[in-house]
A and B are shown apart, each in its own frame.
Chain A
Amino acid sequence: MLTKRIIPCLDVTLDESGGTVVKGVEFVDLIKAGDPVELAKRYNLQGADELVFLDITASHEGRSTMVDVIERTASEVFIPLTVGGGINSVEDVRQILRAGADKVTINTAAVKNPQLIKEASDIFGSQCIVTAIDCRRNTNIDNNQDKTILTLEDGTPAWYEVVIYGGREPTGIDAVQWAKKVEELGCGEIMLTSMDRDGTYDGFDIPITLALSEALEIPIIASGGVGNPQHMYEGFVNGKADAALAASIFHFGEYTVGDTKEYLRKKGIPVRL
């Protein structure tokens, strides 16, 4: 039986000395706190199904150190690796895949130039192109009749607007329509982040997760808002997500991937243990 995937996400940045670190890691027992390769190995041992690395420096230096991080990780960790952050061109995709990544996530660059999704999936195959969609709830529905109107938890109607540049810039694009478009263009998976939930520990944004899961044929990775394993369960059952991504709950050592999977298994969710 196909299992639901649990994916730890590592936000990789540079410290003062130019070394790579993972943002927000608070393990006490790590020799070198926040070393991305050590963390990747740890999560692999805990039973992570995949790993996502996000380059949050989005700089030239960041890119070259990221390539080094991927190469070192891929040499020791034999599970799928996805890399995102600042991927703007077919050449960027090629460089990252060659370093040992299996998939790339494309976010802002896809909104700016949707053909990038088509070109990249034609060349490298749909299976390695993931579109990252960041969105935010918009309750102004009067002037937005052409949008996909969903019902929020309290009954309020809203549509979800795609935002870019890390959530700083709204686009006026409807998230459901955008997801359908990138599916047509050939991407193989969607990584969905609701900015309303990101960093809140309140759980995934269920209305948009469910809407995308039901509207698309390709798998949906839910992201943003996980505070405990129960939220993962809700993402899979209520949001019909295929995979759940989380960062802080694992980085703070509050829950291991193994704990989370054990919890899900007891609640009847198929997981790889």
Chain B
Amino acid sequence: MPMKKIVIIDYGVGNLLSVQKGLEYAGASPIISSDSQEILEADGVILPGVGAFIDAMKKIEPMRDVIREYVNSGKPMLGICLGQQILMSQSDEGGLTEGLDIVPGRVVRFPHTDLKVPHIGWNSINIIQGHPFFEGVPDNSYVYFVHSYYVDTDTTHTLASCKYGIEFAASVINDAKNVIGTQFHPEKSGDIGLKMLKNFVGMC
């Protein structure tokens, strides 16, 4: 069987190596690209993400139609951290900003309480809906988070939740079930995260 071709969309700065190595480990052949043709021909697409929402949207805006076309093809896409947030309808970060609107919902900041923000570290997730992405992942698994904003959506679009003062969407899904988002970093969540990446490659 030929190796799955997975495109990691390059739209910013930061560490893309870990996602790339994680996918290689999961048996795929990932490339980092922002080329329309590469994206449309991919078996799977990753929307990575570190940085600020507005900057990310500015860079992703020219690719909006291509991403939309890819998603409509029914092939799988995974948005990680900020990559999950830009899947949503809109974000409060840095003033109200429109997202890709692939999953309905809104990105909001953690309220000011005694809890530290950013939410950094390993927290447990509750799996709310079965999905191939979470196959073999036990409920209450620990995964690595680092974020100050979270996704607020309905339970229909929530695959897994996490508690940090409030309960938020640790993982989201679109209506067609081919676009997944994770607020945590599977590529930084040890063996359990690699399992999810393997599951994702299996979906491609």
Which residues on A are within 8 Å of B, measured CB to CB? 1-5, 44, 49, 71, 74-76, 78-80, 94, 97-102, 122-128, 188-189, 217-219, 242-243, 272
Are B120 and A127 within 8 A (Cβ)?
Answer: yes
Find B116's partner among A71, A98, A128, A217 (CB 8 Å cutoff). A217
Closest 7 CB pairs of A and B: A100-B17, A125-B51, A272-B142, A272-B122, A127-B146, A219-B116, A2-B123
Cβ distance A121 to chain B, nearest Cβ, rounded Å: 9
Q: Using a Cβ cutoff of 8 Å, how many contacts connect chains A and B?
A: 105
Digit string of B6-19 for contact with A (CB within 8 Å is 1, else 0)?
00000001110110
Are A127 and B190 within 8 A (Cβ)?
Answer: no
| With A78-B187, A127-B147: A102-B18 Cβ-Cβ less than 8 Å | yes
By a CB distance below 8 angstroms, the chain B residues around A123 are: 13, 51
Which residues on B are within 8 Å of A, measured CB to CB? 13-15, 17-18, 21-22, 25, 50-52, 82, 112, 116-124, 142, 144, 146-148, 163-164, 185, 187-191, 193-194
Grouping DSSP codes into helix (H, G, I), strand (E, B) and loop, the A interface class, with mixed when no group exceeds half, is loop
Find B188's partner among A78, A122, A125 (CB 8 Å cutoff). A78
Please measure, in the bound complex, the distance between the C-alpha atom of A3 and the C-alpha atom of B191, giving whole angstroms: 17
Cβ distance B164 to chain A, nearest Cβ, rounded Å: 6
Cβ distance B185 to chain A, nearest Cβ, rounded Å: 8
29 contacts between A and B (CB under 8 A): A1-B123, A1-B163, A2-B123, A3-B121, A71-B17, A74-B21, A75-B17, A78-B25, A78-B188, A79-B190, A80-B144, A97-B15, A98-B17, A100-B15, A100-B21, A102-B15, A102-B18, A102-B188, A124-B13, A127-B50, A127-B120, A127-B146, A128-B50, A188-B120, A189-B120, A217-B112, A217-B116, A219-B120, A219-B121
Are A242 and B120 within 8 A (Cβ)?
Answer: yes
Grouping DSSP codes into helix (H, G, I), strand (E, B) and loop, the B interface class, with mixed when no group exceeds half, is mixed
| With A79-B188, A219-B120: A3-B142 Cβ-Cβ less than 8 Å | yes
Cβ distance A6 to chain B, nearest Cβ, rounded Å: 10
Q: Nearest A residue to B124 by beta-carbon distance?
A: A1
Cβ distance A190 to chain B, nearest Cβ, rounded Å: 11
Are B51 and A124 within 8 A (Cβ)?
Answer: yes
Find A218's partner among B117, B189, B190 (CB 8 Å cutoff). B117
Find A99's partner among B17, B142, B189 (CB 8 Å cutoff). B17
| With A1-B163, A79-B188: A128-B14 Cβ-Cβ less than 8 Å | yes
By a CB distance below 8 angstroms, the chain A residues around B121 are: 2-5, 49, 219, 242-243
Q: Nearest A residue to B146 by beta-carbon distance?
A: A127
Find A97's partner among B13, B117, B148 (CB 8 Å cutoff). B13
Q: Nearest A residue to B148 by beta-carbon distance?
A: A126
By a CB distance below 8 angstroms, the chain B residues around A78 are: 18, 21-22, 25, 187-191, 193-194
Q: Nearest B residue to A243 by beta-carbon distance?
A: B121
Q: Nearest A residue to B144 by beta-carbon distance?
A: A80
Please measure, in the bound complex, the distance between the C-alpha atom of A101 and the C-alpha atom of B15, giving whole angstroms: 6
Are B17 and A94 within 8 A (Cβ)?
Answer: no
Interface centre among B25, B116, B120, B147, by most chain A C-beta atoms within 10 angstroms, is B120
By a CB distance below 8 angstroms, the chain A residues around B118 are: 126-127, 188-189, 218-219
Please measure, in the bound complex, the distance between the C-alpha atom of A250 and the C-alpha atom of B144, giving whole angstroms: 22
Please measure, in the bound complex, the distance between the C-alpha atom of A2 and the C-alpha atom of B165, giving whole angstroms: 10
Please measure, in the bound complex, the distance between the C-alpha atom of A123 and the C-alpha atom of B185, giving whole angstroms: 20
By a CB distance below 8 angstroms, the chain B residues around A97 are: 13-15
By a CB distance below 8 angstroms, the chain A residues around B147 are: 127
Please measure, in the bound complex, the distance between the C-alpha atom of A265 and the C-alpha atom of B142, giving whole angstroms: 15
